[in-house]
Amino acid sequence: MKQRIGVYICHCGGNISDYVDVEELGKMFHKEENVVVSKDVMFACADSNQKDMVADIQANNLDAIVVCSCSPKLHLHTFKNVAARAGLNPSNYVQVNIREQCSWPHSDRPREATVKAAGLIRAGINRVSFSESLENIELTVKKSALVIGAGVSGMKAAIDLARSGNEVFLIEKDFFVGGRIAQKQTLFPTNQNGKEVVAALYNEMKKFPNITIFTGATVEKVSGSLGNFTVDIKVKPRYINPNADKKAVKRAMDECPVSVHDDFNLGLVERKAIYKNYPEALPDVPLVVAEALKDAEDFTGKFASTLNLKEEEQTLSLIAGSVLVTTGYDHYQPKEGEYGYKTISNVVTLPELNRLMEMNPDKLVYNGKQIKSLAFIYCVGSRQTKGDNKYCSRQCCTSTIHTSLQLKEKYKDIQTYHLYRDIRTYGKQELMYAESSKQGDLYFKYEEKEMPVVSVDGKSTIVKVKDYLTAKKEMEIEADLVVLVTGMVAREDATTISELFKIPIGRDKFFNEIHPKLKPVETVIKGVYIGGTCQGPKNVSESVQSSLAGASKITALLKSGTVSVDPIIARINADACTWCGKCSDVCDYTAIKEILFGEKHVATVNKAVCTGCGICAPVCPENAIEVAQYTDNEIESMIDGFMMDFDIKEKGAGEVVEVEEEGKVGMKEYPLVWREILAGMTDEKNTIPEIVANSKLASELVTFHLMTMNRYGVVVPAGMDAKETYYYYKRK
């Protein structure tokens, strides 16, 4: 139990003290026996206060501290660092949220807010009394990274990782690298050729001796953890004799008598049973579909020294310190009959149209007929309020409009009709939308409740749409080709990768990061990162940004050869455990194993793997499991703390003013200081010294509050003054 606790209760310059009587609370907790220091402070997070805290901790030999201020999401690490600087173990620190969860939501009832704050602080003191000094767990790591999926995301990341000196294993399931962008002849916004981008990245990778690329390879088994993952991969054979003469290989491809389904061209055509996805595909060795050549004995006999149909698949074991998953996405596949797909002959998807455009350089022809008009139906398989795919696929509006521009440029005399729900050409992509309108593309807006209907009338295909731009008038559009703008979905085998690495999958079936803003490429599995479209819809630029972020995280992680991980993990009381295995059954991360403890079989937690989720704790019939910092003592003593009532005197409630410009911050009223600062902003824009002079508020107070007001969009910076010493601020 901690005996020498320091308690700091923050005014937050009025954000808290306008409603909660912090001075009274500061005095009150001073009387507690195990509390040595109890103070109210203007800004707990201010540098000056942090220095005071360090001095207090050292002078009073404090063994724990409690800061009662804003949400721990903002300043937990600030104060943990204060503790560390003062030589106190940071886990002897508790932050109590008396702003977001007390003064603000109860600003209508200041007295009760003060009573609640007292309970919250008491709970914090109780909790910190049970705190233990925890040490980070140190692990040694291998300086190698495994990247899964050689699309644009994976290749860019592999190059970056290699350049930073890591050994890189790049695993690609297909026999050729590049992923989806190889299927797109012209990529927005740069109009680069997808295949050329792929070739450039591949050639760049080849310059790095520390990158090993495995194609036709899949992950079979994963063991180990952060720093030392052992990953077994299976590499499928290409059935081409590695010593075969290149010309003979080329002849075999040309003469191959058997055709198979062509995945790369989305089944629009067939390909030979010895193929490359496209002539320039890399690595530059074709693949033999051995199964399809079973009966072509004359052919295989003729090329016996070129082909090696007895080649066997290999299993290899790789060791990696960290893993980046970049397995990409699939195209949404419309159901049979969805807008006439597969039931009406001239209905195709956008990816199929992209392939058709590449295969038809001069005239766009489909089913033997020249195409002069196309109707695009947007949002197919995305934004389904009733279906599974609730999300927007982000890039398809732009992709369609870009395709429309390409159609006009390539085939000239062509008319396009766009049946959309909303156009989401965010950022610079909006320029393409303007250009498309300018070239005469026609736009019709439909709503999900009244979807367009595709039907056949004699020889023509008709799309009927209720156009919300013209008072829901029903339009009939005759089109030579109907194009379904299909969105992105998670890869079917994403579940396999998820199970192997224990990466959680979201409701949208894409991989889940820990937090979309704060930890956007991290997963809950230590050492496992995600990048690109396996995480959700993205265009190439966004995909590469996220995979490079993952690569940088990995480089930073592996740099020093050791990593230190959070000690907030589960632990098992071996005396109480009877090895029933229940905890091990619920742990999604297989962090719990059975070991021998003396004569007894008990459960034990792998420190490198445990995420500290605590899911194992409630299932233990012996109550043998606790997560550090969430022990029974800590939680139950907090509950006791909440239950205390205090003798709190009424404090003047302070005037409450409705914020006139509602909607900017979404607050019902601004705190008093904010109002004073705004009143002090007498000119169109003001510097801090001007506001200080006008408002008579302390400079420190104005500085801190302006920062918060800026964060919440109440004020915005408006350049620097002439001497470039101070920023101007203006009301937003």
Partner 1 sequence: MSTPINQSPATKSPKILVFSTDKISDPGIDQAGLRKIHYAPSVYVISLPCSSGIKPKWIMHALENGFDGVFIAADGHECSYSSRCADHTNTIVETSQELMKAKNINPRRVRMAALCSVCAEPFMSHMENYGKILASLED
Site of interaction with ligand FAD (CB under 6 A)? 148-154, 171-174, 179-181, 184, 187-188, 218, 326-329, 331, 350-351, 354, 395, 399, 402, 488, 491, 493, 497, 532-533, 538-541, 543
- Binding map of ligand SF4 across residues 592-631, x = CB under 6 A, - = no contact: x----------x-x----xxxxxxx--xx-x-xx-x----
Helical H segments across 207-359, by residue range: 246-255, 297-302, 350-359
Q: How far is the CB of 32 from partner 1 (least distance, A)?
A: 7
**Could you tell me which stretch among 109-117, 250-258, 374-382, 646-654 binds ligand SF4 (CB under 6 A)?**
374-382
Please list the residues that pair with 261 across neighbouring strands.
270
Distance of CA 732 to the CA centre of its chain: 30
Picked from ligand FAD, ligand SF4, partner 1, none, the partner binding residue 548 (CB below 5 to 8 A depending on kind) is none
Q: How far apart are CA 99 and CA 708, in angstroms?
A: 13
Picked from partner 1, ligand FAD, ligand SF4, none, the partner binding residue 260 (CB below 5 to 8 A depending on kind) is none
**Could you tell me which stretch among 345-353, 361-369, 401-409, 583-591 binds ligand SF4 (CB under 6 A)?**
583-591
Q: Does 274 bind ligand SF4 (CB under 6 A)?
A: no
Strands 211-215 and 167-172: parallel
Q: Does 396 bind ligand SF4 (CB under 6 A)?
A: yes
Picked from ligand FAD, ligand SF4, partner 1, none, the partner binding residue 378 (CB below 5 to 8 A depending on kind) is ligand SF4
Element (H, E) at 38: strand 35-41
Structure tokens at 175: 């026999």
Picked from ligand FAD, ligand SF4, partner 1, none, the partner binding residue 610 (CB below 5 to 8 A depending on kind) is ligand SF4
Binding positions for ligand SF4, 431-470, rule CB under 6 A: none
Q: How far is the CB of 183 from ligand SF4 (least distance, A)?
A: 17
Q: How far apart are CA 409 and CA 404, in angstroms?
A: 9
Residue 99 burial (C-beta neighbours within 10 Å; 0-12, 13-18, 19+) = buried
Q: How far apart are CA 136 and CA 563, in angstroms?
A: 9
Judged by beta carbon, residue 360 or residue 606, the one nearer ligand SF4 is: 606
End-to-end CA distance of the chain: 50
Q: Does 580 bind ligand SF4 (CB under 6 A)?
A: yes
The helix/strand/coil state of 288 is strand
8 A C-beta contact, residue 406 and residue 357: yes
Q: How far apart are CA 617 and CA 631, in angstroms?
A: 10
Picked from ligand FAD, ligand SF4, partner 1, none, the partner binding residue 592 (CB below 5 to 8 A depending on kind) is ligand SF4
Picked from partner 1, ligand FAD, ligand SF4, none, the partner binding residue 153 (CB below 5 to 8 A depending on kind) is ligand FAD
Distant-in-sequence, close-in-space partners of 30: CB < 8 Å, separation ≥ 6: 38
The site for partner 1 (CB under 8 A) is made up of 28, 31-33, 71-73, 97, 99-102, 104-109, 111-113, 115-116, 119-120, 123, 504-507, 512-515, 523-524, 568, 586, 588, 611-615, 617-619, 623, 627, 630, 632, 635-636, 638-640, 642-648, 665-669, 712
Q: How many CB atoms lie within 10 A of CB 485?
A: 25
Element (H, E) at 218: strand 217-225
Picked from partner 1, ligand FAD, ligand SF4, none, the partner binding residue 482 (CB below 5 to 8 A depending on kind) is none
Distant-in-sequence, close-in-space partners of 262: CB < 8 Å, separation ≥ 6: 268, 269, 270, 271, 275
8 A C-beta contact, residue 295 and residue 280: no
Element (H, E) at 372: none
Q: How far is the CB of 139 from ligand SF4 (least distance, A)?
A: 16
- Binding map of ligand SF4 across residues 415-434, x = CB under 6 A, - = no contact: ------xx-x----------
Judged by beta carbon, residue 615 or residue 656, the one nearer ligand SF4 is: 615
